[in-house]
Amino acid sequence: MNLLFSIGIQCVQSILLIAIAPLLIGWIAQNHAWLSNKTGAGLAQPYRNLHKLFLKETVLAKNASVLFRSAPYIYFAAMCSITLIIPVFWSHLVFSDIADVVALLGLFALARIFLALAAMDVGTAFGSMGARRGMLISFLAEPAFLMVFFNLALMNHSTSLTQIVTTLLAHPFAINPSLAFAAIAFFMVLLAENARIPVDNPTTHLELTMIHEAMVLEYSGRHLALIEWGNHLKLLNYFAIAIDLFCPWGITNTPQMTALISAIPIFIFKLLVLGSSLSLFEALTAKVRLFRAPEFLTSAFILAILGVLIQLLVMG
C-alpha cells in the first residue's frame, strides 16, 4: 500500500511536470510580451505550437542515419527521466535513490551529446557549427554546475537530492552567504544551458548568432516537437532543481494528503515567480557576443568555487 502510494505520487509528479512545461514557457513568453508593451499570444501558445508540429509531416535528409532519427526521442526521454529524480512535492521519492546529483548531470549531458551528434550527423554547415558552439557553452557550464552541487553536498553531507532537500527542510532558516554565491552561479548556468538571453537568444533565427537553434535546424514535424517539448521540460527541470536547492520550503517530508495538496500551489507559485524574474532579467540584459560567453561562464565557475570555499571556511 505504502509503496503503491509512493509510486502514485511519483507518477502524478512526473506527469504534472511534463504537462505544465509548455505552460511555463508560455508564461515566460507572456511576461516578455507584457514587458515590451505587447498583448502576447497567451499562455497556451506553446501547446498550439506543439500540436501543429505533431501534425506536420516529418522531413528527413537523405543521408540521415538512425542517430538523427533517434536523438529527439533520447533527448525527450532523458528530460522525462530527470523529472523522476527531482523532489517537487514530497522529498522521499521512490526513484530518487537511483540517481544522485552527479548522475542527474550525466543525464543532462547524455541529452546534450545526442543532440550535438545528431546535429553533426546530416553534415550541414549550420548543424555542426551549432553543435560545436553548444558543446563549448556546455563544457564550460558543467564544472560550475557541479561546484554548485558540491557546495550543497558539503553542507548536507550527501549528494542525493532527496537527502539535500530533507536536511535543508529540517534546518531552521539561516542566512548563508555560500548559498547566495551558489544561487547566482546556478542562475548563470541555467541561462547558459537553456539558451537564454545573455548567451543565446531562444527566438533568434539569425544564422550568425544562434547556438541552440542551429543545432536543431534540420529537424521538422514530430521530431522538432519532441525537441521543443524537451527544451521546455529542461527549463522546468532547472527551475525545480533551483527550488529544491535554494528555496525548498513548501516541499513536505511526510506523506500526508493535506501537505501534499498544499505543496502543489506553492510549487506553482514559485515557478511563476521564477519565470517572471527570468523574463525580467532577459528584458534588462543584452545578448553577449559568443566569445564573451566563456567569460560569463568562468564568472559562474568562480562564484561557485567561492561558495564552496566559504562553505569550507564556515565548517572550519
In this complex, which beta carbon is closest to other proteins, that of residue 276 or of residue 299? 299
C-alpha cell read off for 205: 533565427
Residues 170 and 300: their CA atoms lie apart, in Å, by 29
In this complex, which beta carbon is closest to other proteins, that of residue 83 or of residue 176? 176
CB of 175 to other proteins, least distance (A): 5
Quick one: three-class SS letters along 85-127? Answer: HCCCCECCCCHHHCCCHHHHHHHHHHHHHHHHHHHHHCCCHHH
Place of cell 523529472: 83
CB of 306 to other proteins, least distance (A): 6
Quick one: three-class SS letters along 194-262? Answer: CCCCCCCCCCCCCCCCCCHHHHCCCCCHHHHHHHHHHHHHHHHHHHHHHHHHHCCECEECCCCHHHHHH
* Nearest CA-CA partner of 181 in 76, 275, 17, 308: 308
In this complex, which beta carbon is closest to other proteins, that of residue 82 or of residue 140? 140
CB of 35 to other proteins, least distance (A): 22
In this complex, which beta carbon is closest to other proteins, that of residue 103 or of residue 309? 309
In this complex, which beta carbon is closest to other proteins, that of residue 55 or of residue 313? 313
291 secondary structure, DSSP code: G
Longest CA–CA separation in the chain, Å: 61
Site residues for other proteins per CB under 8 A? 174-175, 177-178, 180-181, 184, 294-295, 298-299, 302-303, 305-306, 309-310, 313-314, 316
CB of 276 to other proteins, least distance (A): 24
